[in-house]
A and B are shown apart, each in its own frame.
Chain A
């Protein structure tokens, strides 16, 4: 527990000192979502139907873009090797790092999402479902993406490569996340989608830290 809180403090301090990084991903999110009405036209009905999906796709891309920051800086200055050498199980500090990454990159997306949802004409209840789905979905995105980030550490073209590795794995999260909002819009209800999202999150939380630990060992050695 001590190790995790120390690591969290360190990660958050570093993130506070490089606020620009998190803000860039956040503005990317806003810009991508704002481009869709320009592309498909300003029809409010159409935008209302598309809103949940568009915000979700934009959130997914923004989450993917910020994956590079997860391990790259620590890899470059040798911190990662020191972390691997510590007696703490890698699964523990990897979970801590992913949590910190989500706090910095995922939570701002959740807080910004209602603003974008209003642009697409979502109602209050629909906005609430959107936020719930993002609250359950973005940690899963961080967890799954961490595998890709760990495998592509230090590779040329790592950024493009990570998208090829990670985006297919994001498909279920996208389907249930956007599906929850769709369910709220169409009146079918969104509990089933949210439950499935929660299931994915639990599964990802149980399995991915082990996979990331294995991936880091492969990339570092």
Chain B
């Protein structure tokens, strides 16, 4: 069977179509899982006897925090693929993932503050997890700021990929240094580690919500990568054909993002 060829979809022109077909499915999965997860979180899960209803924010907070870290790994993975195989689509995926990751990092910091106020009595404590999540947020911002500052897309891709890889090497070092710093300072003695074990329903709700966030992240990244593809390839023939517009007046000029296979669509 000669059927499925993975390399076919490493071309932006073919991937654009594939992503367009996949996006509704991922959004639908995100909506269904999100509805189910929220139902479990707010109606089935029991009230926590220590924290009251305020604990329910962890059903948003924990999935967002998990995905914020996972997306950074995925971003670095795409960046490494791009640097190793010099595939344009990998760099585009890395750029497309960054804003979603930054947004989820922000959501987890924000919901963490909302949870911390009634539970710990403070919007913010210099806990190891909070601090390293904050630094992760800075790493996302640095990646996006670097790409935004470079006009040449090729250089922006590669520079961003390098800083993403440097960041991924540093993330464990940062995490452990912050953790040891925190335990030595004895500043915030409140820790999630001492929380009582979780009821099975709560865990289920959290896992379903995590899946929902995951599906949403994929859908959002695919939507964004479609925009990036169109932007980068705006002068190529397949975009002109697809949009039914006049082809570029000078198709023979060397344009950015040339060399896509027109037959792909």
Q: Mark B174-185, 1 if CB is under 8 A from A, else 0.
A: 100110110010
Chain B residues near A152 (CB-CB < 8 A) = 146, 149
Nearest chain A CB to B102's CB is how many angstroms away?
Answer: 13
Chain A residues near B207 (CB-CB < 8 A) = none
Q: How far is the CA of A200 from the CA of B177 in the complex (A)?
A: 11
Q: Is the CB of A167 within 8 A of B138?
A: yes
The verdict on A168 contacting B138 (CB below 8 Å), with A155-B150, A211-B166 known, is: yes
Q: Is the CB of A161 within 8 A of B149?
A: yes
Nearest chain B CB to A170's CB is how many angstroms away?
Answer: 10
Q: How far is the CA of A152 from the CA of B165 in the complex (A)?
A: 16
Q: Mark A148-169, 1 if CB is under 8 A from B, else 0.
A: 0001100111100100110111
Q: Is the CB of B177 within 8 A of A176?
A: yes
Q: Is the CB of B145 within 8 A of A164?
A: yes
Number of interface residues of A (CB under 8 A): 30
**Chain B, 159-175, CB within 8 A of any chain A CB:** 159, 162-163, 165-167, 169-170, 173-174
Q: How far is the CA of A164 from the CA of B167 in the complex (A)?
A: 12
Q: Is the CB of B173 within 8 A of A200?
A: yes
The verdict on A172 contacting B174 (CB below 8 Å), with A151-B162, A211-B166 known, is: yes
Q: Is the CB of A151 within 8 A of B146?
A: yes
Whether, in the assembled complex, A147 has its beta carbon less than 8 Å from a beta carbon of chain B, the answer is yes
Chain B residues near A221 (CB-CB < 8 A) = 155
Q: How far is the CA of A151 from the CA of B155 in the complex (A)?
A: 9
Nearest chain B CB to A190's CB is how many angstroms away?
Answer: 11
Q: How far is the CA of A184 from the CA of B165 in the complex (A)?
A: 35
Q: Is the CB of A207 within 8 A of B177?
A: no
The verdict on A207 contacting B169 (CB below 8 Å), with A167-B138, A171-B174 known, is: yes
Residue of B nearest to A215 (CB): B162
Nearest chain A CB to B87's CB is how many angstroms away?
Answer: 16
Q: How far is the CA of A97 from the CA of B138 in the complex (A)?
A: 28
Q: How far is the CA of A179 from the CA of B177 in the complex (A)?
A: 10
Residue of B nearest to A188 (CB): B184
The verdict on A171 contacting B178 (CB below 8 Å), with A207-B169, A218-B159 known, is: yes
**Chain A, 199-221, CB within 8 A of any chain B CB:** 200, 207, 211, 214-215, 218-219, 221
Q: How far is the CA of A207 from the CA of B159 in the complex (A)?
A: 17
Q: Is the CB of B155 within 8 A of A218?
A: yes
Nearest chain B CB to A93's CB is how many angstroms away?
Answer: 19
Whether, in the assembled complex, B29 has its beta carbon less than 8 Å from a beta carbon of chain A, the answer is no
Residue of A nearest to B140 (CB): A168
Whether, in the assembled complex, B114 has its beta carbon less than 8 Å from a beta carbon of chain A, the answer is no
Nearest chain B CB to A52's CB is how many angstroms away?
Answer: 13
Q: How far is the CA of A191 from the CA of B240 in the complex (A)?
A: 65
The verdict on A147 contacting B135 (CB below 8 Å), with A152-B149, A157-B149, A172-B177 known, is: no
Residues of B within 8 A of A (CB): 135, 138-139, 141-142, 145-146, 149-150, 155, 158-159, 162-163, 165-167, 169-170, 173-174, 177-178, 180-181, 184
Given A179-B181, A211-B165, 19 more contacts at CB 8 Å? A147-B166, A151-B159, A152-B146, A155-B150, A158-B149, A161-B146, A164-B141, A165-B163, A168-B142, A168-B174, A169-B166, A171-B174, A171-B177, A172-B173, A179-B184, A183-B184, A188-B184, A214-B162, A218-B158
